Structure 1
């Protein structure tokens, strides 16, 4: 279940040379359904960012334990699927934590998982305080590409049947929850998404999202042999997190900037029920040595409103959002510096430029 979108590029390298851009007849474009190509150029890069995915090969953790007099419920380790799984694992966590509880609740962490947990606690009728060392826009969630898709979440040979059941339940709840949030308020929109059929990611979408189909060469302009298209949702993360914080506050929730150096520090807060949504921070705070960072680097181009589709594979991934065209696809294990590397950014941009310049036809 580790999906490294960079593997797409290796299988498609020959196609990016341009040999697939024309048919056998000289100077005549091959028949295909046109799309507007992304205008990729280094001069259009408006910012670069890097983030660290909190990855565990055995998948996310939703588990309860006693911490002195407090009940502690963990909800972390989502890898590259924090946006996708946030509502679902938070649903599992509150089902585990709220049963038999009365009184205020604490949530540690203000990323997408912490905010989703806090909102579900409020919807269940409990007052909540979020404690966080950093607030948006200074969270890992702000750096996410924002595609709804279970990516980089676990290794197939490292998970149990019980975990797989949790995963399916969480995914289904998140899928439904995001659908009722679609619109400009939260920055969530549906887009057709194209992926090469032979890519690892295509094996996942064979089962989710449920609607997908293989295209004929006449139905797409890409310099790829076999392409699948499916529809999914995309989240403009900055807007989404801002609105989620507003929702928490409107419902009476409190937010306190506070850093916890050890589990003993949690004893100082008044709430008897605590949800741990600290992501990669759980490695140091709770000693989970299975957690490892997976760095992802992004180059963001100026917005291009006429791009109304997304792409994964070939050069990496391309997600169009109102705040910019997101170009990415790196999956760097055990790298702790959340800093973009100029040489890597150059490779991302160059690869994307070659790909979009190789369209067989354009709108």
Structure 2
């Protein structure tokens, strides 16, 4: 069985250290939710994205680049949306104190946009440099589940990195909560996972989901085996990134579409402080050999308004979004081709169809 890791007002808008809020579980999903109609004739689009995966975890650190200060913020694996606000806060806390003048942010995905917005909130003029803008970024392809999954390898990370990660996760969790609603297309959705996932990733669910519930076989509709159910947020990534870019521009941000071939190209920018949020691009730009692509393929089905839950299991994962039902399940390490493969898409649909065929309403 797959685990979640393999699946799945001040300078930084200071949010108070308070008890994390998790809403009540949906009573509709607590009984017998309807199954997804996983049928090939309901597919409205297929996509493939490359996760910027580092076994040693994301990079947030500062260094000198000639006369410039360079702050890295990349390598989030399958947790780019989830950790975007948190690692961007870590990055801006490294770079902004004591800095005077304009700021450059390189990369316009979820991480780059969050970094740019935090710098603007701190009062700095920001120029965003990117070779692609939404909707053409890798972040646009992300499923949008706010769960830290597939972003490091156990045994490859340091205690110092774990401390960074927990700090980042805490801030992201709080930041997304205050953005819930139609404006950023973020909403809470009850989510079902195999019970084994409860102990993935250092028991993060226990820390952020006090309403987590456990169900034995026969108490849930997902076939055999124990399951857990918890609440988390989901982002309709296209609308979210469009709104983030609009916010950036409305706050006076400048956008320059261009690519960078070498660190010397970055050093030639007029800004004394540069944030590197290039994701997988840091493999070539900064020679990070530890950064590797992990391809994830998705089939998007016609929306099913009655689907008010999400799940993951041996057949992959399903996220309901206003723009369609997201079906996924591939984790292809070392694949650089960001093209959806028809045979893999067919396997994804067939797997979710098996899940639906095995639906068992609790007695």
Partner of 1:340: 340
Q: What is the CA distance between 1:200 and its match in structure 2?
A: 7.5
In the alignment, structure 1 residue 210 sits paired with structure 2 residue 213: no
- Rounded to whole Å, the distance in 1 between the matches of 2:161 and 2:251 is 32
Partner of 2:275: 275
User: For the structure 1 residues 294 and 200, does the alpha-carbon distance in structure 2 shift closer, same or farther, using more than 3 Å as the test?
Assistant: farther
1:178 to 168, 172, 176: 176
1:99-149 deviation per Cα after TM superposition (whole angstroms, max 9, x unaligned): 110000000000000000000000000000000001111111001000000
- Rounded to whole Å, the distance in 2 between the matches of 1:206 and 1:249 is 36
Partner of 1:161: 159
In the alignment, structure 1 residue 65 sits paired with structure 2 residue 67: no
- Rounded to whole Å, the distance in 1 between the matches of 2:199 and 2:236 is 22
- Rounded to whole Å, the distance in 2 between the matches of 1:319 and 1:209 is 20
Partner of 2:195: 197
SS at match of 2:213: strand
Aligned residues of 1:3 and 1:200 also touching (Cα < 8 A): no
Aligned residues of 1:202 and 1:228 also touching (Cα < 8 A): no
Aligned residues of 2:4 and 2:197 also touching (Cα < 8 A): no
Aligned residues of 1:35 and 1:220 also touching (Cα < 8 A): no
User: For the structure 1 residues 167 and 264, does the alpha-carbon distance in structure 2 shift closer, same or farther, using more than 3 Å as the test?
Assistant: same
Structure 2 residue runs without a partner (length 5+): 9-29
User: For the structure 1 residues 205 and 312, does the alpha-carbon distance in structure 2 shift closer, same or farther, using more than 3 Å as the test?
Assistant: farther
1:232-252 deviation per Cα after TM superposition (whole angstroms, max 9, x unaligned): 000000000000001101111
Partner of 1:294: 294
In the alignment, structure 1 residue 349 sits paired with structure 2 residue 349: yes
Aligned residues of 2:53 and 2:294 also touching (Cα < 8 A): yes
Q: What is the CA distance between 1:84 and its match in structure 2?
A: 0.4
TM-score normalised by the chain length of structure 1 = 0.90
- Rounded to whole Å, the distance in 1 between the matches of 2:60 and 2:200 is 27
SS at match of 1:295: strand
Structure 1 residue runs without a partner (length 5+): 7-31
Q: What is the CA distance between 1:198 and its match in structure 2?
A: 2.6
Larger radius of gyration: 1
User: For the structure 1 residues 296 and 147, does the alpha-carbon distance in structure 2 shift closer, same or farther, using more than 3 Å as the test?
Assistant: same
Moved more, 215-224 or 123-132: 215-224
Q: Provide the alpha-carbon RMSD of the alignment.
A: 1.7
Aligned residues of 1:5 and 1:201 also touching (Cα < 8 A): no
Partner of 2:308: 308
1:82 to 62, 80, 83: 80
1:97 to 95, 98, 102: 95
Number of residue pairs aligned between Structure 1 and Structure 2: 337
TM-score normalised by the chain length of structure 2 = 0.90
Q: What is the CA distance between 1:206 and its match in structure 2?
A: 4.3
Aligned residues of 2:70 and 2:275 also touching (Cα < 8 A): yes
